[in-house]
Amino acid sequence: MNKILILFAHPAFRRSRINAVLRGGVEDLEGVTFHDLYAAYPDFLIDVPHEQSLCEAHDVIVLQHPFYWYSTPAIIKEWFDLVLEHEWAYGSSGKALAGKITFQALTAGGDTSDYRPGGLNLFTIKEFTTPYRATANLCRMEWLPPFGVLGIHKGLPEEDRLRHAAEYRRTLIALRDNHLDIHRARECELLNQDLDAIVKEV
């Protein structure tokens, strides 16, 4: 059984219905540690040794956050800057994260018609997340495409939110129990575009 660490970052969490539902769906899962960065470090003073030992104690690291300016909320950048130390996360002897699976679970306002070549945002979500893919690569991690909930500014109906939450929960369970086909998952545009195709049923 894999242990999963969710690094959650939302500066106005109370106002995000989608993130509340996503969070509610996975928080109680066995083997999942839900870590709210803004709540833990409201003044951004990140406890680096604590964060590193958390990472070392888990096999899967998920970054769950809203998609701000084609990137993450500020505290995740701060987290990268401080926690991913040379010779710990990367460098010739930096192998603390090696082999761990990682992906982003993000919520974005625009939908797939905005996130495409020629669309409003010019690039796809997968393209926008290449910096994180490179980060994972440098840290010798197993990168997976983002789990994306798009189009939330057009107002997601309640049943869609619940569906996303269920899919998120299913993805994490599959990862936890080694039921996810990593090779096929890596080829996806978004991790949740067709879960049935990558989750191996037992």
Partner 1 sequence: MEQFLVQLFIFLAAAVIAVPLAKKCRLGSVLGYLIAGIVIGPFCLRLIGDIETVMHFTEFGVVMMLFLVGLELKPSLLWQMRTPILGMGGTQVVLTFIIVGLVCALVLPWQQAVAIGLTLALSSTAIVLQTLREKGLLNTSPGQSVFSVLLFQDLAVIPILAIIPLLATTVIQADSHHGPEFFDITALPGWLRLLVVLLAMGFIYIAGTYASRPVFRAIAATRVREVFVAAALTLVIGISLLMTLVGLSPALGTFLAGVVLADSEYRHELESDIEPFKGLLLGIFFISIGASLNFTLIAEQLWLVGGLVAGLILIKGLVLFATAGIFRMPVHERWLFTVALAQGGEFAFVLFQFARTNGVLPQPLTESLISAVAVSMFLAPLLFIVHDKLIATRLKDALPERPADHIEEGGRAVILAGFGRLGTDIGRLLISAGIRPIILDHNEANVDTLRSFGFEVYYGDATRLDLLESAGAAEAELIIITLGDHEKAMELTRLVQKHYPHLKIAVNAVDRRAAYEFMDLGVTTIRRETFGSALTLGQDALQLLGFDPYEAYKIRRLFRKKDKDTLPELYRIFREDTENYRTMYQKHNENLVELMKKDREMDMEELDKAWSAASPET
Q: Which residues on adjacent β-strands are paired with residue 34? A: 6
Residue where the block lists tokens 């010798």? 140
Residues in contact with partner 1, counted by CB under 8 A, come to a total of 24
State the Cα–Cα distance between residues 191 and 174, nearest whole angstrom: 12
Q: In this complex, which beta carbon is closest to partner 1, that of residue 41 or of residue 80?
A: 41
Question: To which H or E segment does residue 37 belong?
Answer: helix 37-40
Shortest reach from residue 20's CB to partner 1, in Å: 12
Residue type, 116: R
Instruction: Report if residue 111 touches partner 1, rule: CB under 8 A.
Output: yes
Mask 122-161, x = binds partner 1 (CB under 8 A)?
-------------------------------xx-------
| Contacting partner 1 within 25-64 (CB under 8 A) | 38-40, 42-43
CA distance linking residue 91 with residue 88, whole number of Å: 7
Determine if 66 is a binding residue for partner 1 (CB under 8 A). yes
The per-residue b/e assignment along 171-192, b for 16 or more CB within 10 angstroms, e otherwise, is: bbbbbbeeebeeeebeebbbbb
Q: Minimum distance from CB of 120 to partner 1 (Å)?
A: 6
Binding region for partner 1 (CB under 8 A) = 11-15, 38-40, 42-43, 66-70, 108-111, 114, 120-121, 153-154
